[in-house]
Amino acid sequence: MQLKQPHISIIFIFFLVASQYVFAESPKNKVSNDANLSTSQLIDKIIKGAKANDIKSQYMLAMMYLRGEGVKRDKTLALKWMSASASGGYVEAEYVLGLMFDRGTVVPQSYLDAFSWIHKAAENNFPPGSRLIRQLLYPWNRGQTRLSLCCKMV
């Protein structure tokens, strides 16, 4: 029997992540002022940050679209913003984009792309990336790894 992980409220995630990453870095914005924003104002601020090429805002917006929290669920926009964030070097986005390719739920499954993005996250000292790289290389299908199966297809 597998236990389900508790679902954390998106509002809690917004205030926690946004106050630490997006707004705390801007000298014009004080964290205390951002705590008083409504949910819609906070979403608007994240969208503006993403459009201004802030990789952390792009990651947050991608996760919002992926989960349908605060915005309408849209896998295409989730992929767009996650790719932009990962390409900008945001390590969590690199990892999640790798998961998207590994699972094939948002994009067509590609173990090679999955390995590439997760390896990039691992190189940037992201512990979950390092653990998953070991899993991707572990023989699970009659002595073959997911990566070796992928390379045979190329």
Q: What is the pLDDT of residues 91-144, one digit of tens each?
A: 999 999 998 998 898 999 888 898 889 889 989 888 888 887 777 676 555 555
> Do 69 and 101 lie in a common domain?
no
Tell me the helix, strand and coil percentages in the chain, rounded to 5: 65, 0, 35
Residue percentage of the chain with pLDDT more than 70: 65
Residue 1 in any domain: the answer is no
CA-wise closest residue to 146 among 119, 135, 126, 154: 135
Does residue 1 register a pLDDT over 60?
Answer: no
Q: Buried b vs exposed e over 53-70: b needs ≥16 C-beta within 10 Å?
A: ebbbbbbbbbbbbbeebb
Which of residues 88, 104, 127 is at a domain's end?
88
> Do 79 and 130 lie in a common domain?
no
Non-local CB neighbours of 138 within 8 Å, separated by 6+ positions: 145
> Do 117 and 82 lie in a common domain?
no
Backbone angles phi, psi at 141, to 5 degrees: -125, 85
Non-local CB neighbours of 65 within 8 Å, separated by 6+ positions: 71, 72, 73, 74, 75, 77, 78, 81
> Do 73 and 98 lie in a common domain?
no
Q: How far is CA 124 from the centre of its chain?
A: 15
pTM of the full structure: 0.68
> Do 97 and 84 lie in a common domain?
no
Residue 3 in any domain: the answer is no
Non-local CB neighbours of 130 within 8 Å, separated by 6+ positions: 122
Q: Residue 20 is part of which domain span?
A: 8-88
> Do 81 and 23 lie in a common domain?
yes
CA-wise closest residue to 52 among 92, 93, 83, 85: 85
Q: Average pLDDT of 47-64?
A: 95
- What single-letter amino acid sits at 38? S
